[in-house]
Structure 1
Amino acid sequence: MRNPARICLALFAALTVVPVAAAPTERLERVVIIMRHGVRSAMSSPEELGRYSAKPWPRFAVPAGYLTERGGRAVTLLGDWYRVRYQQAGLLADGDCAVFYWANHTQRTEATAQALAQGLTPGCTTIVHQSPAAPDPLFDAPLTRPAALDPARRLAAISGRIGGDLAGWDRRLQPNTDRFEALLLQCRAVPCTAQERRRPARRLSDTPVEMKLDGKGGVTLTSPALQVAGIAESLMMAYGDGLDFPGWRDVNAATIEAALTVHGAGIDLRTRTPEVGLQASSYLARRLLATLQQGSGDTPAGDPIGGDAKIVVLSGHDGTVTMLAGLLGLEWQVPGYAAGQAAPGGGLIFERWRRATGEAVVRVRYVAQNLDQLRHLTPLKDDVAPGVAPIFVPGCSEADMACPLPRFADHVLNAVR
């Protein structure tokens, strides 16, 4: 009889050695990058954010929601890393301009596409394409005709993930919420004392717990933990932009990463619930598939983006990334962020490779700079690279993380409405 312990150890070793790189005999043919804009200014004023903190917030140099100057420079560094990577892979030649850029109708997404182009296609005339009119269904499908919206079904799907008990979900996140509040209030211990909690004009606990339809075709979700999301986002952006926090203690990448845990849980609930992606990202998913099929020998399942471009870049928002991921069941983890979080400038990378056998396969990755790389504008090289997480496509990827293109098409078409 075989030793059960030895069998288990052998199985564990087999499971922990997962090849993620393409085989040397594979040829890269096409890439689609679906990215979030780079570091932007906070959507709320320092005065509004300061109502929740013991110390004043720093002030951005640009209007609310705009890509910052440093945010643009960080995206350019990422574009330069992509260019070197895809030249080494044989997809791009030196001075190659075969990249198609498409952005949503906002300053931060347009400026992000321009900034990426400065690194990815330097010396080329860059045209950032957009839909003829706003809103663009690639990024804002719920506001346009292609989306078949059903708010009640969306609310039911979100509610079903938490047993219909938003208050209970919020309580389970209380330890993480307390840690974030301790950072805001600069408390010496977690949780803050009653006296320390009296410092700000507003407390996280003042946020009502509500989960309901808003009467305008949307869903209202509020709770103390969900309130953390917007504030943590502003903290992350300010740190990534290199701003100082006079009088604050312990504002660094590690403490912000801890704060992003509860932020990530809120983003997951709001945007990664599959029904949310079904209603918001089906159009994007179908056009992504068609773009990967373009020139592969398979008939595109929809309208491809970018013609014969070797790389297609879609510059959107965090929801662009996370709702598509929720629809397709894509999971990732990169250092410095919560699981499945869309980092500033980070993106889902879909690569079509051709095996020596002639088979076309899709490899999916998530790529993002960490907060210190953003803050210090770190040049990216092989030894100082952004975080790169290979993604297993459920029901599709094989042991080497590659998903045959026809099977990827089935996965997408089975997921979309």
Structure 2
Amino acid sequence: MTVRAILAVLALLIPAAAHSAHTTPSDLVTERVVLVMRHGIRAPLEGEVPEGTRSERPWPVWSVAQSVVTPHGERALEIVAETDRRLLASRGLLDAAGCPKAGSASIVANTSPRAIASAVAYVRGFAPQCDLKVLHLEEPQADPIFEPLRAKATAFNADAAVADINRSTGGMARLVARDRKELALLNGVLGCGRDDCLPPAIATRGHDIALSGPIRSASGIAQVLLLQYLEGMPAEQVGWGRIDAAGLQRLGRLHADLFTVYTRPPYMAAHQASALGRRILDTLDHGPAFELLMGHDTNVTALAAALGVDLRAEGYATNDVPPGGAILIERLRDVRSGLRYVRASYRTQSPEALRELGAQVSLTPLRIPGCAKGPCRYDAFAAAFAQRLAK
């Protein structure tokens, strides 16, 4: 090739490369959005405070049955849905008010009553008095989007999973040693008058994986204490008045340990985010303008792990997803070049906002590995993300 020919090729390549490198948000318009969200504030699950846990005084009584989303939780979902609608309107995706155009919005929930009730409450805030249906399978079906292990949606191997969990965490003994200060704090809140208020062991089985010991016991108790605060219980009832918001954030590390085991190791993330990830890509490719997938904290943390990001928000331990917390994924188009990009954010409300039913919302950018400081090229993202999902 002659020097003139080489220079001609470079003249074609350099502007395109420079344009790609300097694409800014002002050049981009949002084409589609997927929101993967945890359900709202609920009463404790059955066994979330394990049998055998000792405490100085009885636990506070909730206004609803076990695992049910509370009226306070429903109102918080309505409020955050209103702010989400305004956000989507600011992106030019939907009108700020009124009913979304037919086919422009989709609301999908897991089969659990708390997920369905949360989605219904969200619709009340997002599109009040509109005929926007919540789509879901009927119990006892397992929806592979939200419960891939129970649905046996992938070729999951329990032995391979346990080996990868041990590689990623260093083993349960290491987690216990790392969190000894938080475990001591939890024992102090329980106030049972003994060195260890937790039951000596508890096991749960899920697709042939069992986790037992202090981490499994403590994770649920830490979550129940946080839920008391978010529900707006009087301060003297939240941990019997022995803990404040800062202490609850510290204890959140114990709850996040559950995801350190069940969703964040690479093997677990690949299987836990399998059908969910493919649903996201399918929607971003040719779905409605907006889709909400209302599930559980395991769904949000599994997606984060598959994306290769940690979830950090005001008032919460890293990777401890609060009720109503969500990952927002946008497909974007550069109006000048026509190239498509993807951008991810973590949308949450602080503990105080949830407790007081405030409208303040945080939207934290998520830096996906392999991307520059700005959005990722969509085709490269989709190919890399799909490879991380199990079959």
Sort the TM-score into its range (normalised by shorter chain): 0.7 to 0.9
Match of residue 197, structure 1, among 182, 194, 203? 194
Q: What's 2:124 paired with?
A: 118
- Cα offset for 1:393? 1.2
Q: What's 2:13 paired with?
A: none
Q: In structure 1, the residue corresponding to 2:322 is in which secondary structure?
A: coil
Q: In structure 2, the residue corresponding to 1:33 is in which secondary structure?
A: strand
RMSD: 2.4
- Cα offset for 1:46? 10
Q: In structure 2, the residue corresponding to 1:141 is in which secondary structure?
A: coil
Q: What's 1:399 paired with?
A: 373
Q: In structure 1, the residue corresponding to 2:341 is in which secondary structure?
A: strand
**Take 1:132 and 1:260, find their aligned partners in 2: how far apart are those partners?**
32
- Cα offset for 1:55? 2.8
Match of residue 95, structure 1, among 80, 94, 98? 98
| 1:246-302 deviation digits (Å, cap 9, x = unpaired) | 4623433222111112222332222211211212221211121111111xxxxxxxx
**Take 2:216 and 2:229, find their aligned partners in 1: how far apart are those partners?**
21
Answer whether contact 1:50 1:57 (CA < 8 A) is retained.
Answer: no
Q: What's 2:11 paired with?
A: none
Answer whether contact 1:46 1:59 (CA < 8 A) is retained.
Answer: no
Q: What's 2:155 paired with?
A: 148
Q: What's 2:179 paired with?
A: 173
Q: What's 1:12 paired with?
A: none
User: Which residues of structure 1 form unaligned runs of 5+?
Assistant: 1-20, 187-195, 295-306
Answer whether contact 1:75 1:115 (CA < 8 A) is retained.
Answer: yes
Alignment-mate amino acid for residue 203 of structure 1: C
| 1:192-216 deviation digits (Å, cap 9, x = unpaired) | xxxx327xxx722x43398xx96x7
1:371/1:22 CA distance change after superposition, 3 Å: farther
Q: Does 1:410 align with 2:383?
A: yes
Give the TM-score normalised by the residue count of structure 1. Answer: 0.80
- Cα offset for 1:65? 0.7
User: How many percent of aligned residue pairs carry the same amino acid?
Assistant: 28
Q: Does 1:372 align with 2:352?
A: yes
1:405/1:110 CA distance change after superposition, 3 Å: same
Q: In structure 2, the residue corresponding to 1:137 is in which secondary structure?
A: coil
| 1:63-112 deviation digits (Å, cap 9, x = unpaired) | 11111111010011000011111112211113141321000111110111
- Cα offset for 1:166? 2.0
Give the TM-score normalised by the residue count of structure 2. Answer: 0.85
Q: What's 1:316 paired with?
A: 295
**Take 2:176 and 2:116, find their aligned partners in 1: how far apart are those partners?**
36
Q: In structure 2, the residue corresponding to 1:111 is in which secondary structure?
A: helix
- Cα offset for 1:328? 2.7
Q: Does 1:243 align with 2:230?
A: no
Alignment-mate amino acid for residue 276 of structure 1: M
Q: Does 1:254 align with 2:252?
A: no
| 1:101-149 deviation digits (Å, cap 9, x = unpaired) | 0001111101111111112122311200113671111111112243211
Alignment-mate amino acid for residue 365 of structure 2: P
Q: What's 2:334 paired with?
A: 355
| 1:182-234 deviation digits (Å, cap 9, x = unpaired) | 22218xxxxxxxxx327xxx722x43398xx96x7421112213321100111
Alignment-mate amino acid for residue 227 of structure 2: M
Answer whether contact 2:201 2:217 (CA < 8 A) is retained.
Answer: no
Q: In structure 1, the residue corresponding to 2:108 is in which secondary structure?
A: strand
**Take 1:50 and 1:386, find their aligned partners in 2: how far apart are those partners?**
38
Answer whether contact 2:33 2:284 (CA < 8 A) is retained.
Answer: yes
Alignment-mate amino acid for residue 149 of structure 1: F
Q: What's 2:16 paired with?
A: none
- Cα offset for 1:340? 1.7
| 1:296-338 deviation digits (Å, cap 9, x = unpaired) | xxxxxxxxxxx4x211000001111112222231222101111
Answer whether contact 1:41 1:66 (CA < 8 A) is retained.
Answer: yes
Matches within 5 A, 1:6-405: 23-44=25-46, 51-93=53-95, 94-97=97-100, 98-131=104-137, 134-163=141-170, 165-185=171-191, 196-197=193-194, 203-204=197-198, 206-208=199-201, 217-244=207-234, 246=236, 248-294=240-286, 307=287, 309-356=288-335, 357-378=337-358, 380=359, 385-395=360-370, 397-400=371-374, 402-405=375-378
Q: What's 1:7 paired with?
A: none
- Cα offset for 1:241? 1.1
Alignment-mate amino acid for residue 167 of structure 2: G
Answer whether contact 1:49 1:57 (CA < 8 A) is retained.
Answer: no
Alignment-mate amino acid for residue 235 of structure 1: L
- Cα offset for 1:391? 0.6
Q: In structure 2, the residue corresponding to 1:140 is in which secondary structure?
A: coil
Q: In structure 2, the residue corresponding to 1:279 is in which secondary structure?
A: helix
Alignment-mate amino acid for residue 347 of structure 1: A
- Cα offset for 1:407? 1.0
Q: In structure 2, the residue corresponding to 1:113 is in which secondary structure?
A: helix
**Take 2:60 and 2:51, find their aligned partners in 1: how far apart are those partners?**
10
**Take 1:22 and 1:181, find their aligned partners in 2: how far apart are those partners?**
50
